[in-house]
Amino acid sequence: MTTIFESIVKGEIPATILYQDELVTAFRDINPAAPTHVLIVPNRPIPTANDLTEEDEVTAGRMMRVAARIAADEGIAESGYRLIVNCNRDGGQEVYHLHMHLLGGRRLGPMVSRQT
């Protein structure tokens, strides 16, 4: 099933795209949880982190390097930021096209809520 992120990668629906190459695309989250909230996705529609294969290792590494580069461009590399990949129900994944959240621009607080 095509997800909204696959449509963004293909340019079929609009997004604020910050970076795109042959492997990954980065665009601003539509509902930002911090002053900088960018999503970095593989162009190939990999559903979850569970579906990564050996042939995706370059893509996964590219996602992290692009995140760091965008953090520098956004001026948050030194103040700091958080990279998050949610997986499946307990991880809170909503869109089943693998994505890395880049969050920063303010103190983000505890990594995980201790509430159940």
Query: Which amino acid would we find at residue 45?
Result: P
Cα 35 from Cα 95, distance rounded (Å): 21
Contact 27, 17 (CB under 8 A): yes
Residue ranges of alpha helices (H) inside 49-87 are 57-73
Question: Which CB sits closer to ligand 5GP, 74 or 78?
Answer: 74
Nearest residue (CB) to ligand 5GP, 4 versus 108: 4
CB closer to ligand 5GP, 78 vs 97: 97
Query: Binding residues for ligand 5GP, per CB under 6 A?
Result: 4, 15, 27, 29-31, 39, 86, 92-95
Judge whether 99 counts as a catalytic residue: yes
> Helix or strand or coil: residue 104?
strand
CB of 34 to ligand 5GP, least distance (A): 11
d(CA 93, CA 76): 25
Write down the least CB distance from residue 72 to ligand 5GP, Å: 21
Min dist. Cβ of residue 82 to ligand 5GP (A): 13
Q: Catalytic site residues?
A: 99
